[in-house]
């Protein structure tokens, strides 16, 4: 008998006398509170900042100048760029662009200073951005190895209130990364320290339309 059959057999014997269970109550709240789109974006910004992400606000025309300034301020000499990042976001003449390529080794990525991506959506109530590996976000590892991640969120369109609102918009077949503030640990006397293995600095740009 295979282990699969053995385990399944044990489960069936264990449940022989189990009573049928009731319905799953789904009366929990889909959203906590009623917000205007602007208030939703404000809440997202507040929650991101509380977990030590650096939040900036701009509009599409001013985005290239802002990104240039952020990369300059870090002294970034190279920046990872997902294949579908809108070309006009990063003006020519800035840090060397490193394309997101399957054949890059982790060691090569470790030499890159910064990464700029979009996102799939953001969740205001938890201060979370979600990446789904889309063309403007790239492979999971490019937002992990460089020490500086700049993520651009189109507001208010990409912002939802809550986790229950976020899940139906995501495709589980894609690799998903939920990011709430930069890498952190509380393993030493429960003192929170940011930046252990993931990027030490997470900058979030809330990009509205003008």
Partner 1 sequence: MTGTYLGMPAMPATPRMPAVPATPEVPSFPEAAREAVRDGVLRANLRHATHTIRDKRARAVAELADWDRLRAAGRAVKDHTLRHLDRYLLQLEEAVTAAGGTVHWAADADEANRIVTDLVRATGEREVVKVKSMATQEIGLNEALEAAGIAAYETDLAELIVQLGHDRPSHILVPAIHRNRAEIRDVFRTEMGRWGRPAPGSLGDDPRELAEAARLHLREKFLRAKVAVSGANFMVAETGTMVVLESEGNGRMCLTLPETLISVVGIEKVVPTFRDLEIFLQTLPRSSTAERMNPYTTMWTGTMKGDGPTAFHLVLLDNGRTDTLADETGRQALRCIRCSACLNVCPVYERAGGHAYGSVYPGPIGAILSPQLRGTARAIDASLPYASTLCGACYEVCPVAIDIPEVLVHLRERVAQGGPATRAGIRVTLRPADGHTAERAAMRAARLLLDHPGALRAGERLLARARRLAPRRLPGAGRAWTDSRELPTVPPESFRDWWAARERSTPR
Q: Mask 139-168, x = binds partner 1 (CB under 8 A)? A: xxx--x------------------xx--xx
Beta-carbon count within 10 A of 164 CB: 16
Of the two residues 78 and 177, which places its CB atom closer to partner 1 in the complex? 177
| Helix, strand, or coil (residue 121) | strand
Query: Which residues are CB-neighbours of 52 under 8 A, at least 6 positions away?
Result: 181, 182, 184, 194, 202
Q: How far is CA 32 from CA 36, 45, 124, 165, 174, in A?
A: 13, 17, 10, 11, 28
Of the two residues 77 and 140, which places its CB atom closer to partner 1 in the complex? 140
Name residues contacting partner 1, limited to 102-141 (CB under 8 A).
Answer: 102, 105-107, 110, 123, 125-128, 133, 139-141
Question: What is d(CA 178, CA 133) in angstroms, rounded to the nearest whole number?
Answer: 11
* SS3 of 55-71: EEEEEHHHHHHHHHHHH
Query: Closest approach of Cβ 55 to partner 1, in Å?
Result: 16
Query: Closest approach of Cβ 91 to partner 1, in Å?
Result: 28
Of the two residues 58 and 74, which places its CB atom closer to partner 1 in the complex? 74
Is 169 a binding residue for partner 1 by CB under 8 A? The answer is: no
Is 55 a binding residue for partner 1 by CB under 8 A? The answer is: no
Question: What is d(CA 133, CA 171) in angstroms, rounded to the nearest whole number?
Answer: 11
Query: Closest approach of Cβ 165 to partner 1, in Å?
Result: 9
Of 34-42, 63-71, 91-99, 188-196, which part binds partner 1 (CB under 8 A)? 188-196
Is 92 a binding residue for partner 1 by CB under 8 A? The answer is: no
Query: Closest approach of Cβ 136 to partner 1, in Å?
Result: 14
Number of residues that bind partner 1 (CB under 8 A): 73
Question: What is d(CA 97, CA 79) in angstroms, rounded to the nearest whole number?
Answer: 5
Is 28 a binding residue for partner 1 by CB under 8 A? The answer is: yes
Q: Is the peptide bond between 156 and the residue preceding it cis, with omega within 30 degrees of 0? A: yes
Selected binder of partner 1 within 34, 36, 93, 188 (CB under 8 A): 188
């Amino acid at each position: 008998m295979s282990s699969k059959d053995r385990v399944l057999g044990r489960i069936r014997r264990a449940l022989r006398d189990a009573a049928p269970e009731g319905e799953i109550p789904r009366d929990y709240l889909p959203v906590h509170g009623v917000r205007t789109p602007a208030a939703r974006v404000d809440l997202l910004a507040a929650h991101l900042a509380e977990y030590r992400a650096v939040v900036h606000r701009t509009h599409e025309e001013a985005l290239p100048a802002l990104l240039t300034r952020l990369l300059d301020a870090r002294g970034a000499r190279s920046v990872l760029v997902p294949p579908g990042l809108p070309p006009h976001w990063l003006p020519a003449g800035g840090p060397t662009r490193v394309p997101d390529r399957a054949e890059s080794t982790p060691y090569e990525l470790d030499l890159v200073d910064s990464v700029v991506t979009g996102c799939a959506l953001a969740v205001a109530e938890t201060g979370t951005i979600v990446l789904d590996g889309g063309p403007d976000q790239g492979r999971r590892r490019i937002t992990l190895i460089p020490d500086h991640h700049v993520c651009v969120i189109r507001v208010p369109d990409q912002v939802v209130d809550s986790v229950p609102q976020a899940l139906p918009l995501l495709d589980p077949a894609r690799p998903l990364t939920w990011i709430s503030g930069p890498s952190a640990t509380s393993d030493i006397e429960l003192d929170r320290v940011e930046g252990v293995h993931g990027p030490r600095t997470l900058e979030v740009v809330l990009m509205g339309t003008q």
